[in-house]
Amino acid sequence: MSKEKRLYTFLFAPTSTSRMKKLTIPRYLIRGGIGVLLLIVVGGIYGAVRLMNVESLNLKYQSAKIENDKLKRDNDVYKNSYSKLKGQISFIEDVSKDLARQANMEHVSEIDQKVGSGGPETVTALDKAADQLEQQVRLIGDRLRADHLRLTSIPAGFPVDGYITDGFGMRRNPMGGGSHEFHDGIDLAVDFGTPVGATADGLVVWAAPYSGYGNLVAVFHSNGITTRYGHLSRITVEPGQRIKRGEQIGYAGSTGRSTGPHVHYEIRLNDQPIDPSKYGRRQKP
């Protein structure tokens, strides 16, 4: 190849009035410059792509970090809530065990034996334990309520705080004559007008004068038990009224077949008189 073919000649004039100038550049320099320029362009594009990838990765990293921090916070909240819930259930279980003992019932097994440690399986076990504990508490509550109703319907103590002048059973006729008779209850001597209280929860079935009882109040309780309060000076309840233990039913007096102010107190089981002394000592109404 001739020397002229390996060169590029450029003619140019700096100004419109200047003489033409000639610039000769070897071809290899032109090609080298173009190659360098291409390398620069390609390198720039590559760098830009790499920078975009780095920025994209950085954004993903920041997003993942934020999500991880959120999950960590949520996990901490879950752990705290789980621990609190387990503690509450354990406390309720302790209370239910005490109630079960009071109600003479068998209690479910310990909650710690039902709940281990871990994730969803632990939550499931805790839910099952909570459901079982709730059912147990309900059963205990029903049993205690039934026992409470039963106990409050059983006579306890005496209707007035007096002393016994006549007990249950055979006695000499207080009206004279030297004969003996069977006394269906006990007589409690008190001052005239002393308040008289019911000895158990129940339903008033009689509140009016009745033969030798004078002014009589009869209360039906449960399981065939009835109490009677005789010789009252005044009655303060009426038939069909529900009353609670200790609630006033009238005032002591000496109406009917009586020799002085007192309260005749009877307990009947299926209409058969039984000794009131077996149901407790005397108590104030």
Decide: 113 and 125 in contact? Cβ < 8 Å: no
Write the pLDDT tens digit of every residue in 3-33: 555 666 666 666 667 677 666 777 777 777 7
Q: Which residues contact 164 (CB under 8 A, 6 or more apart)?
A: 186, 187, 188, 189
pLDDT of residue 172: 80
Q: Which residue's entry shows tokens 């620069």?
A: 40
Under CATH, what is the fold of the domain 163-279? Glucose Permease (Domain IIA) (2.70.70)
Q: What pLDDT, on a 0 to 100 scale, did the predictor assign at position 103?
A: 62
Going from N- to C-terminal start, the domains of the chain cover: 3-58, 74-152, 163-279
pLDDT higher for 119 or 128? 128
Helices (H), the chain: 27-102, 120-152
3 state DSSP class of 65? helix
pLDDT higher at 211 or 78 = 211
What percent of the chain is predicted at pLDDT more than 70? 69
Amino acid code (one letter) for 13: A
DSSP code at position 35:
H
